[in-house]
């Protein structure tokens, strides 16, 4: 039996499957902030904002003409004054809040919100030691929800053009930052109610009073936002780490393994990190198959921050080296996008497309934290479970081709034609790459001994709360199982050859 026949039941990786009357993928924060602001303007009862980070100082309206203030904090204060029946609930990770709470303007905004009976702010500390709340979900009147990878914070806004000299790409302080690629979804209908239920449960776990679902909310679909899908089932998957009052939920982990196993032709993925041993093992199994799928991963050139490159980049280098050893048939590639001037475009998007059949967008990355330690939320559309599978397949293929066209500075129709001609994601990318704005293949760096040790011990990317307190000797090497599996496969192939 081939690996992709051994797929877990859907109940293992979906918390709930609910219908979306409309659904679309929004790429990059320029489109997201525009759509989110439009939907918030239509809210009548409740807006739930759940995020890893939230910065009230960021510009929330690039060229908008709706009469409201441009910054998100001032906009929320203005919005509730226009709508006496509207309440805004903001829930964010408590540890991450330390980064922005002490900016002068942020403190003034929070003081104004504390005095405002329509605005409710909570810092969520219901997580394990060293864990974080990483979900990025907004629910508006239980009618429309946004779920994906984009935080309402600084350094996130950019357009799909990712131009080198973008005067609007500046922090609240006025300091420019580099190009940024991201993605989220807009979802309407019963799936928005389900995401509202998830956010209300988190609000209560963080110490907030119980919130009832919104009944009879407004039509909040953003103006001018076209739908990629209509009347389609959407699966919701979560990571919730083990706590004293809660058993762990690893739906996303099960989902990733199932997606890799079921792929027949192509796996296209965008992720901020590539550091999960589990994901690498699942990929390695598919690479051993003579007729397995091509696997293309879009990653940033290097992780963001001062500590992440040490942890994430080192683990990535070790895993990619091992996977290249397994890639007998040349079906695995990792790329990172660059601007016309060669500046790296930071990839923060978390997207997976399997063949032309399944689309996953969410907050989780290919790293251990996303699978076991942090809270995450992903949404999935599966054309094989749709009432109109061919229509959904065309939409899913179009989204993947649109992402490739963005990275290759090409056109969707050109990508589609080249893919039909070559039958290969890798050959299509190779044919359309240029020396200007394009994709660059990942090059293995030389790792210092300390970096190798950090990668192998997973010190900075543990596989869940329990591992945080294990001794280093108790932790299995990051690569031991992967390399053991690779050698076992080779030995097995040699035995079969001998029997012939």
Tens of pLDDT, residues 321-347: 889 999 999 999 999 999 999 999 999
Which has the higher per-residue pLDDT, 62 or 291? 291
pLDDT score of 183 more than 90:
yes
Quickly state the pLDDT bin for 459 (edges 50, 70, 90). very low
Cα–Cα distance between 193 and 141 in angstroms, integer? 9
- Say which residue the tokens 């930071």 belong to: 346
CATH 3.30.300.30, applies to 3-10+232-489 = no
Task: Please give the pLDDT value at position 115.
Answer: 86
Cα–Cα distance between 463 and 241 in angstroms, integer? 10
pLDDT score of 486 more than 70:
no
Task: Please give the pLDDT value at position 308.
Answer: 63
Which has the higher per-residue pLDDT, 384 or 10? 384
Tokens of 329: 């048939």
Instruction: List, in order, residues 6 or more apart from 120 with CB less than 8 Å away.
Output: 87, 88, 89, 90, 208
- Measured N-to-C along each axis, helices 277-287 and 480-499 cross at an angle, to the nearest 10 degrees, of 20
What pLDDT digit, counting tens, does each position of 197-210 carry?
999 999 999 999 99
Instruction: Report which of 331, 246, 244 is spatially closest to residue 291, judged by C-alpha positions.
Output: 331
CB 150 within 8 A of CB 58: no
Task: Please give the pLDDT value at position 21.
Answer: 97
What pLDDT digit, counting tens, does each position of 298-314 carry?
999 998 765 566 777 88
pLDDT score of 228 more than 80:
yes
Region for residue 69 given its phi and psi (left: phi exceeds 0; alpha: psi -120 to 50; beta: otherwise): beta
pLDDT score of 474 more than 50:
no
Q: Which residues pair with 275 in a beta bridge?
A: none
Q: What is the pTM of this model?
A: 0.89
Percent of the chain scored above 90 by pLDDT?
68
Task: Please give the pLDDT value at position 65.
Answer: 73
CATH topology of domain 18-231: Endonuclease; Chain A (3.30.870)
C-alpha radius of gyration, the chain, whole number: 22
What pLDDT digit, counting tens, does each position of 74-91 carry?
999 999 999 999 999 999
pLDDT score of 454 more than 60:
no
Quickly state the pLDDT bin for 111 (edges 50, 70, 90). confident
Q: Give backbone dihedrals phi and psi of 357, rounded to 5 degrees, phi first.
A: -115, -25
Which has the higher per-residue pLDDT, 492 or 147? 147
**Mean pLDDT (the chain, rounded):** 87
Going by DSSP bridges, is the β-strand pair 137-140/119-124 parallel, antiparallel, or unpaired?
unpaired
* Intervals of CATH 3.30.870.10 along the chain: 3-10+232-489, 18-231
**3-state secondary structure string across the chain:** CCHHHCCCCHHHCCCEEEEEEEEEEEECHHHHHHHHHHHHHHCCCEEEEEECCECCCCECCCCCCCCCCCEHHHHHHHHHHHCCCCEEEEEEEHHHHCCCCCCHHHHHHHHHHHHCCCEEEEEECCCCCCCCECCCEEEECCCEEEEECCCECCCCCCCCCCCCCCCCCECCCCCECCCEECEEEEEECHHHHHHHHHHHHHHHHCCCCCCCCCCCCCCCCCCCCCCCEEEEEEEEEEEECCECCECCEEHHHHHHHHHHHHCCCEEEEECCCECCHHHHHHHHHHHCCCCCCEEEEECCCCCCCCCHHHHHHHHHHHHHHHHHHHCCCCCEEEEEEECCCCCECEECCCEEEECCCEEEEECCCECHHHHHHCEEEEEEEEHHHCCCHHHHHHHHHHHHHHHHHHHHCCCHHHHHHHHHHHCCHHHHHHHHCCCCCEEEECCCCCCCHHHHHHHHHCCCCCCCCHHHHCCHHHCCCCCHHHHHHHHHHHHHHHHHHHHC
């Amino acid at each position: 039996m081939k690996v992709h026949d051994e797929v877990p039941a859907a109940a293992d990786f979906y918390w709930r499957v609910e219908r979306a009357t409309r659904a679309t993928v929004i790429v990059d924060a320029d489109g997201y902030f525009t759509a989110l602001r439009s939907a918030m303007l239509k809210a009548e009862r409740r807006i739930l904002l759940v995020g890893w980070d939230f910065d009230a100082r960021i510009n929330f309206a690039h060229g908008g003409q709706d009469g409201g203030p441009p910054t998100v904090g001032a906009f929320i204060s203005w919005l509730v004054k226009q709508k006496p029946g509207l309440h805004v609930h903001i829930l964010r990770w408590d540890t991450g809040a330390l980064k922005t709470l002490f900016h002068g303007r942020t403190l003034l905004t929070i003081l104004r919100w504390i005095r405002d009976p329509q605005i409710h702010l909570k810092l969520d500390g219901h997580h394990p030691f060293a864990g974080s709340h990483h979900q990025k979900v907004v629910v508006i009147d239980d009618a429309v929800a946004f779920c994906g990878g984009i935080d309402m914070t600084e350094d996130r806004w950019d357009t799909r053009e990712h131009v080198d000299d973008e005067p609007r790409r500046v922090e609240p302080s006025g300091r420019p930052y580099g190009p940024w690629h991201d993605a989220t979804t807009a979802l309407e209908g019963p799936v928005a109610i389900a995401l509202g239920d998830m956010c209300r449960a988190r609000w209560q776990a963080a110490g907030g009073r119980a919130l009832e679902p919104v009944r009879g909310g407004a039509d909040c679909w953003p103006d001018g936002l076209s739908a990629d899908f209509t009347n389609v089932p959407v699966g919701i998957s979560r990571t919730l780490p083990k706590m004293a009052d809660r058993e762990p939920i690893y739906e996303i982990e099960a989902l990733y393994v199932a997606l890799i196993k079921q792929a027949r032709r192509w796996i296209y993925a965008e992720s901020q990190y590539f550091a999960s041993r589990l994901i690498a093992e699942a990929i390695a199994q598919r690479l051993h198959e003579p007729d397995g799928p091509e696997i293309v991963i879009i990653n940033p050139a290097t992780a963001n921050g001062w500590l992440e490159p040490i942890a994430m980049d080192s683990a990535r280098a070790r895993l990619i080296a091992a996977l290249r050893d397994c890639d007998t048939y040349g079906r695995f590639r990792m790329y990172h996008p660059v601007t016309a001037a060669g500046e790296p475009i930071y990839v923060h998007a978390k997207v997976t497309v399997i063949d032309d059949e399944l689309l996953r967008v969410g907050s989780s990355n290919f790293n251990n934290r996303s699978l076991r330690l942090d809270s995450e939320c992903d949404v999935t559309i599966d054309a094989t479970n749709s009432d109109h599978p061919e229509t959904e397949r065309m939409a899913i293929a179009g989204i993947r081709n649109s992402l490739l066209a963005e990275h290759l500075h090409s056109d969707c129709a050109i990508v589609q034609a080249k893919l039909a001609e070559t039958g290969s994601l890798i050959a299509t990318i190779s044919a359309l790459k240029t020396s200007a704005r394009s994709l660059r293949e990942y090059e293995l760096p030389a790792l210092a001994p300390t970096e190798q040790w950090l990668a192998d011990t997973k010190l900075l990317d543990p596989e869940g709360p329990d591992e945080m307190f294990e001794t280093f000797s108790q932790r299995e090497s990051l690569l031991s199982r992967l390399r053991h599996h690779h050698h076992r496969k080779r030995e097995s192939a040699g035995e079969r050859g001998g029997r012939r």
